[in-house]
Amino acid sequence: MTSSSRRLRHVKHPLVQHHVAELRDETTSSAEFRRLSHKIATLLASVATEDLELRDTIVRTPVADAPARVLSQTIALVPILRAGLALVDPLLNVIPTAEVWHLGLFRDEATAQPVEYYRKLPPTDPCDVALVLDPMLATGGSACLALEVLRQWGVPQTKLVVLIAAPEGIAAVHDQFPDTEIITAAVDECLNDRKFIVPGLGDAGDRLFNTNRS
């Protein structure tokens, strides 16, 4: 098994596959698209967080003291604006103590390269683990730019949580960030000549926020 394959977690849970099928359907409404994205992200969260570190403690139940274990690391959720916002709430539901920071990136349609327009990260005190959130991993350009920003911040462990990934994007991320784990609900065939994922699900941002008027 290659290092790249070890760092890719393709979640094939039956419920994930079922929800992805509905997510892809072009007749799915924006409201339902958001609900499905929330469900899938919640299922991916259990995989993305299964190796978080714990510390021992004691809690008092109504009956007696009980040994327990609680999170010992600081966790940050870093959605890539705008589409990544849809994955924040389901992750916060399972990690309510997580910090939330934002990166604004858009793809230049002429060059297919990411352009940064917004960054909200503290200058010091990086988190222990950062989960980068974005529905789509296509060329990998935006993900790699986000991961580079987090590396400069000093984050020791990064993970990328996406709904759909293309092989080209996976390769790009693991070429530049071989230690970053990618957690995804689907690995698709390829990118087309417009750098869209095939079969994909269209423009996730437009479908999430009902802004596709074409």
**Within a domain: residue 146?**
yes
Evaluate if residue 1 carries a pLDDT over 70: no
pLDDT over 90 (residue 111):
no
Q: Is 188 a catalytic residue?
A: no
Question: In which domain, by residue range, is 140 found?
Answer: 3-209
**Percent of the chain residues past pLDDT 90, beyond the cut:** 77
pTM (whole model) above 0.85: yes
The three-state DSSP-derived secondary structure of the chain is CCHHHHCEEECCCHHHHHHHHHHHCCCCCHHHHHHHHHHHHHHHHHHHCCCCCEEEEEEECCCCEEEEEEECCCEEEEEEECHHHHHHHHHHHHCCCCEECEEEEEEECCCCEEEEEEEECCCCCCCCEEEEECCEECCCHHHHHHHHHHHHHCCCEEEEEEEEECHHHHHHHHHHCCCCEEEEEEECCEECCCCCEECCCCCHHHHHHCCCCC
134 is catalytic: no
Domain-embedded: residue 148: yes
The answer to whether position 214 is within a domain reads: no
Q: What is the pLDDT of residues 71-89, one digit of tens each?
A: 999 999 999 988 899 999 9
**pLDDT(212) > 80:** no
Told to judge if 25 belongs to the known catalytic residues of this protein, a careful annotator would answer no
Confidence of residue 6 (pLDDT cuts 50, 70, 90): low
Q: Of the residues 9, 82, 89, 203, which is catalytic?
A: 203
Number of domains in the chain: 1
CATH number at residue 192: 3.40.50.2020
> Of 111, 119, 175, 211, which is the active-site residue?
111
Lowest mean pLDDT among 45-49, 81-85, 127-131: 81-85
Choose the catalytic residue: 34, 107, 128, 151.
107
Quick check: is 107 catalytic?
A: yes
